[in-house]
Structure formats: C-alpha cells, structure tokens
Structure 1
Amino acid sequence: MSTGRGAEGMRVLFAAPAHLWDAWSPALRAACPEMELCRDGDPAGFDALIYAPGYPENGQALDFTPFTRARVIQSLWAGVERIVTNPTLTQPLCRMVDPGLAQGMVEYCTGWALRTHLGMDRFAQDGAWRNRLTPPLAQGRGVTVLGMGELGRAVALALAGLGFRVAGWSQSGRPVPGIEVLAGDALPQALGRAEILICLLPDTAGTRNLLDAERLALLPPGATVINAGRGTLIDEAALLAALDRGRPGHAVLDVFRQEPLPPDHPFWRHPGVTVTPHVAAETRPASAAPVVAENLRRAMQGAPLLHLVDRVRGY
C-alpha cells in the first residue's frame, strides 16, 4: 500500500507569515504530533511545506526550487491563484478544503441572501407602518450560485434546504444531487433567473471579468449580487455603471482586486454597494489542522493526496 517511509519524524516548514504562527502551531502539532514543525532551516531537509502567501515577508515570491525533498505543498487557504503561477513550483500543491471554511461561507451567503430576500433594510425605524412590503416565500425567489466547487455546493444545498429555487453554474456542469446545474454556454440562462446571484468562482484566466457590462445586463432588474469568491470576477467600472441603472439593484462585496479596499474607492460611497472586509469565510486552525495532518501523512506514505490542484485549471 505505502511506497514512502512512515510519517514518524517528518520535518515540515511552516512557510507562512509570522503573525500566523501563534494561532496555527498549537493546532497543527495537536493534529499531527509525529511531525517536527519548523519555522526555518535547510530547504533540502523538509518533507513538506505548509504555505500561505506573504512568505517570505520580504515581498519576493518563494523559490520552491531548493525544497528538493518536499512531497507536498499544503496551502492554508482555499484560493491558490497566488501560488499556482509560481514557475519554481514543481511539487504537488494541495488547496485547503476545510469544513469550518465551508460552514463559514454557508453562514455568510445564507445570511445575506435572507437579508436580501426579506428586504430587511427597507424597514426604517421612523414610525412609518410599511406592512405592504411582504416578501414572497423562498420558493418564489430564484437564486443562482456561480461556482459549484466545495463551497458553492455547500451554499447551494443550504439555500435549497430553505426552499429557494436554486440553480448552480460551472464550466463543467458536474452534477450535484438536488441542484439544477447549468454548464458553460448556459451562463446567460443562469444569470437571467438570478434574483440573487452568489459568486463563488476561483480566480482563473477564464473567470476574470466574467461579470462584465454585457453579462450584468442579463440579471433581472433589482437583482442582488453577493460576491464572496474573488474580486477579479467582476469588472468594477461595469458594476458601478450597472448599479446606477438598477440592474443589479444592490451588490454585497466581500472580495476586491485590491485589499484592503482603499478608503477612496467608489464602492465605499455608492448607495447600492455593501462592503464587507473579506470576512465571508476564514480558515480556522482548529478545523483546518486535521485536514493538513491527513495530507501530510498521505504524502509521507505515498498515498493519494486530498484536494490536489490541477495546474492547468488553476484550482
């Protein structure tokens, strides 16, 4: 079964910004006590790297070439667009798929979808009795989830469980039991039914500026866009112009091309935009450390790795 040596005694480099060490090192050591977790050392002496962008902290991209013994690069984050393009990376790269991350994304997207659906912001506390603003039931509201990976599937199923008319869209159209999944060229159809559009696509060459002026115009009037995927998905100028036309009617944005979002960015001032500071889903050490430990053991035992990144697709 195993072609490699056992996991006992493996040396692992914590190749992540220094401020993450105090939170992550206890959880990682508890989940994988057999490893030697290091913050520095001879690159040729490490069996694996636990990596997050921002390392090294000199602003330069990490050179993976000297890590000749490393059997896996385990990302701490779900997004790997800042890693996969590194030309020195030849080792297997695994992205983070963490149950806590998925739960956080479900809670964020469900919360904002319900707030939008119920029109909760329409009820100003000003003494006016607005009892004619009753929303439809969830089955009367069309929701589309762009991106049907681990996070998209979890969000789509949660919203379907609340009764919403949920459809998903992905380039491949891979089936998800209980969810209508549209593929590829059916993107206009997916957008046209989306009274609430939830964007959970990765950052790839095929998704950048996917929501441009032409595609935003396909949304129903007054639709809400919730982007918790990647900021590069949306053409920012096109979105601002579309909001001025009421199509969409509102955008809840958690991710941006530049983060932190500059204080003078027009998103802060536009009445049709709600900015949240990249808080939709966080990788939490307690739930993610067992995922890391499992992949480290698999790498050392020569077993198939979990959540291996496809270099061609970029995720």
Structure 2
Amino acid sequence: MGLAIIAPNKSAEEINAWTGVFKEINPTLDLQVFPDIKDKEAVEVVVLWQHPKGILHDFPNLRLVCSMGSGVDHIMADYYPENVPVTRIVDPRLTFSMTNYVVMGVLNFHRQILRYIKDNQSKTWDMSQPEIPVSVGVMGVGELGGDVLDKVAGLGFPVVGYGNSPKSSFRHPYYYGNQLQDFLNEVNLVVCLLPLTPKTVGFLNKDFFKKCQKGTYLINVARGKHLLEEDLIPAINEGFISGALLDVFQKEPLPAAHPFWEHDKITVTPHIASITNHKAAAPQIMENYNNLMAGKPLINQISKTQGY
C-alpha cells in the first residue's frame, strides 16, 4: 500500500521533515511526493495540504485522505470518493499555540497595547482608560475553542460559547444556532474558531457586525473564508467593530495592495496562530495507515455530513 504527499505550497524543507518522520516510522513505506508521483495506482493513502483541485480523481485505488493539519475545508471543498474516509490532526501543541495567541489578542485589547505603541511613537503620555472591560465570546467550542474559554475564564474574564448545535452539558455559558443575537449581546470581543462549512462561509459579514455590541473587537483564527473581507472596514468605520486581529485570509499570502495592511485598527499576522508540528502529526497519519491495513478503526476521522 502506497502513500503520497500532496502539499505544493509547503517548502522542500518542510516536505523533507515530513518524509523523514514517515520513513523513520516505516523504512519500507512506498512513499511518493507531488509533483513526482509516478505510480498513481499504487497510492491508497494521500496526505494533503492545499492540494490542486480535482487531483484526487487521479488515484483509482484511494482508500484514505489525511489532512496535514487540523483543518479539512481544503478537502471538503474538493471532490473525493464518497466512501473514502477523511482524517485530521489533533495535537495538544496546536491547542497550546492557538490558546496563547488568542489570550495575547484578548489582553492586548483589554490593556490597549496597540494604542500605547502608537503613543510611544508620538511621545504621548495618556493615562486615560488603561483597561477596557472585556467579555469574551468564542464561536466554535471544540477542542481549540473549549481550551480558549477555559484559559480566558481562568484570567478572570467573563466568557460565553457559541456553536452550531445544543450541548447537554457545557462548563461555560453557551448559545447555539438561532441564539446568535443572545450570544452577541453578552460579549464585546468575538473569537472565531468555527469550522468552515457551507453554513459558515461568509459568516462574519455586515449583518453579523450590525448585531454586535458597538465597539466589539474581532479575532479571527479559524479560516479566511469565514470573513467577508469587504465588510470589515465599513463595520469599523461605522463603529460596530472597534478593530480586528486577523491571522487567516481569503487569499494567502495577503496581497501587498490589500487595505488591511494599511488600516490602523486591523492587525495582520501571517497564519501563524497555530502551526502543525510534523513530529506530532506524521505519527498520527502513520497510525491511521497501519489501522487501515489492519482493518482497525481510524483515529481523528471527521464527519462528512458536519464537515469537521
């Protein structure tokens, strides 16, 4: 059984790091790397990240599709055989990094660090309103969102969660579905960690922003397609949104001419909130490779109907 890596946007150094772990686990592994995949019929497992659309048609014996990260929207948006399972990466280090990034954003907004950086540059001594009261709402309360809620609550901030479906028990206040307005009434800082599904594409749009409390701050660390980018700056100009910390974008790298770069209330980071560690991720893929060969259940398999 052969395995192929298809990740054209990753550097040769990154790919070599992945192949090194795969070969260390299984020295006899039949491993091919895009674009040099010579024997497509031998490929039964593909490992993907931002793959060329439609390429899965090329593998007649495909049995398993593995994401190289926690996200699977790049897979769900493309064709793949209906009976082929899809898995993702679950890594405590991903959670650690994501939570720390969001906590940084919450504290920077709460203590107005960006304002003080500007004051530093202009030599302005302004002691007014050194803290903004913050209530944090997290949309998407899976493993990542749940940990963010726990850590932010541990710092003493009020927190509220929001998701697609009801939960019989949840350790924090929680809203779901059509209770979005109730959720937004409770918070003035919104963290988007929603999975990307047909229902959540463009979820952060002008109608959403108008439902927010005036001056709400936005942190988007989920996917770029959650945000209708053309709606954000008008929402800031109209006062619905006070600013944003954005780590993901519809097109990456963010084009140099994009207005987000120049806006003084938008902070851009280059999709670094949470980075997959190949030393933690590759063994999970190899475990599923071995499980598939042995007819055992897969780990971290996603629900195709839910999209995550």
Partner of 1:84: 76
Rounded to whole Å, the distance in 1 between the matches of 2:163 and 2:284 is: 25
Using the TM superposition, give the Cα deviation of residue 184 of structure 1 relative to its aligned residue in structure 2, in angstroms: 0.5
Tell me the percent identity. Answer: 31
Partner of 2:6: 15
Change (3 A) 1:265 1:128: closer
Contact 1:100 1:288 in 2 (8 A): no
Contact 2:54 2:79 in 1 (8 A): no
Change (3 A) 1:297 1:310: same
Is residue 45 from structure 1 mapped to residue 42 from structure 2 by the alignment? yes
Partner of 1:130: 126
Partner of 2:163: 170
1:257 counterpart SS class? coil
Rounded to whole Å, the distance in 2 between the matches of 1:192 and 1:170 is: 15
Contact 1:99 1:288 in 2 (8 A): no
Contact 1:95 1:308 in 2 (8 A): yes
Using the TM superposition, give the Cα deviation of residue 101 of structure 1 relative to its aligned residue in structure 2, in angstroms: 1.8
Higher relative contact order (CA 8 A, sep 6+): 1
2:75 counterpart SS class? coil
Rounded to whole Å, the distance in 1 between the matches of 2:249 and 2:29 is: 37
Change (3 A) 1:120 1:204: same
**Which residue among 236, 242, 246 is the counterpart of 1:243?**
236
Q: How many residues are aligned here?
A: 298
State the one-letter code of the partner of 2:256: P
Contact 2:195 2:222 in 1 (8 A): yes
Rounded to whole Å, the distance in 1 between the matches of 2:58 and 2:109 is: 48
Rounded to whole Å, the distance in 1 between the matches of 2:54 and 2:289 is: 23
Instruction: Report the TM-score when normalising by structure 1.
Output: 0.86
Change (3 A) 1:178 1:222: same
Moved more, 208-217 or 247-256: 208-217
Cα offsets for 1:205-254 (capped at 9, x unmatched): 10122122222122222221000111221222222111002221001111
Contact 1:198 1:226 in 2 (8 A): yes
Using the TM superposition, give the Cα deviation of residue 272 of structure 1 relative to its aligned residue in structure 2, in angstroms: 1.8
Using the TM superposition, give the Cα deviation of residue 177 of structure 1 relative to its aligned residue in structure 2, in angstroms: 4.1
Partner of 1:299: 292
Rounded to whole Å, the distance in 2 between the matches of 1:202 and 1:209 is: 12
Using the TM superposition, give the Cα deviation of residue 31 of structure 1 relative to its aligned residue in structure 2, in angstroms: 4.3
Partner of 1:94: 87
Moved more, 189-198 or 119-128: 119-128
State the one-letter code of the partner of 1:77: G
Structure 1, unmatched stretches of 5+, are: 1-9
Partner of 2:268: 275
Change (3 A) 1:234 1:135: same
Rounded to whole Å, the distance in 2 between the matches of 1:33 and 1:154 is: 37
Using the TM superposition, give the Cα deviation of residue 312 of structure 1 relative to its aligned residue in structure 2, in angstroms: 2.3
Change (3 A) 1:176 1:196: farther
Rounded to whole Å, the distance in 1 between the matches of 2:26 and 2:102 is: 32
Partner of 1:209: 202
Structure 2, unmatched stretches of 5+, are: none
Instruction: Report the TM-score when normalising by structure 2.
Output: 0.87
1:217 counterpart SS class? helix
Rounded to whole Å, the distance in 2 between the matches of 1:13 and 1:235 is: 34
Moved more, 14-23 or 148-157: 14-23
Contact 1:99 1:287 in 2 (8 A): no
CA RMSD of aligned residues (A): 2.3
Rounded to whole Å, the distance in 2 between the matches of 1:188 and 1:133 is: 28
Partner of 1:24: 18
2:250 counterpart SS class? coil
1:83 counterpart SS class? helix
Rounded to whole Å, the distance in 2 between the matches of 1:175 and 1:28 is: 40
More helix per residue: 2
Give the 5 Å matches for 1:45-124.
45-54=42-51, 61-64=54-57, 66-68=59-61, 70-90=62-82, 91-123=84-116, 124=119
Contact 1:212 1:238 in 2 (8 A): yes
Is residue 179 from structure 1 mapped to residue 184 from structure 2 by the alignment? no
